[in-house]
Amino acid sequence: MSLTYTKATLNDIEQMQSMVADAIEEGIILPRSNSEVATNIRSYTLCFDHNKIVGYVALHIHNEKLAEVRSLVVNEEYRGKEIGSKLVNMLSHEAEILGIKEMLSLTYKQNFFERLGFKEIPKELIPDNKIWADCIKCKLFPQCNEISLIKTL
């Protein structure tokens, strides 16, 4: 296993989309069109094992103080190898460089994010633009089971 981490390119979209197809079907990750991924390609950080994407995550900036961890996924056979932690820590570093003060996560994996310094917050504290831009697209909306967490940088 030879893991490398890098920013995504447009050539990665097809492999990224196929990697999350099952998670989208389950309602764990929101569906995003190829065009939406392309528009936001600079926000994605990927983990490769040789030429195969084995994990990725996106940093979505809501405003000058708040960013969100989005679309965190690690291939099932690579879980438990600290890939998810490394990806989120890389986003934290990137957010700090940009001057972001807090990172938000909506997740079913509360313990994972708490180990990385995130704290649970009431969903009422989530920015309205998040709800109406993203959550409304979810097949589970409005009966969301995700936990909202935030990390101060």
Q: Most distant CA pair in the chain: distance in Å?
A: 42
Predicted local distance difference test score (pLDDT) of residue 26: 82
- Edge-to-edge order in the sheet of strand 66-74: 3-7, 44-49, 52-61, 66-74, 102-107, 147-152, 119-120
pLDDT at 5: 98
Predicted pLDDT at 44: 98
**Predicted pLDDT at 56:** 97
From residue 122, give the alpha-carbon distance in Å to each of 22, 49, 66, 67, 79. 28, 37, 16, 17, 29
User: Which residues contact residue 122 at a Cβ distance below 8 angstroms, ignoring those fewer than 6 apart?
Assistant: 148
| pTM of the complete model beyond 0.85 | yes
Q: What is the mean pLDDT of each run of 10 residues along the chain (153 residues)?
A: 96 96 83 94 97 96 92 94 98 97 92 97 71 52 75 96
Please state whether beta strands 102-107 and 66-74 pair in parallel, antiparallel, or not at all (unpaired).
Answer: parallel
Tokens of 101: 């003060």
- Residue 78 contacts residue 135 (beta carbons within 8 Å): no
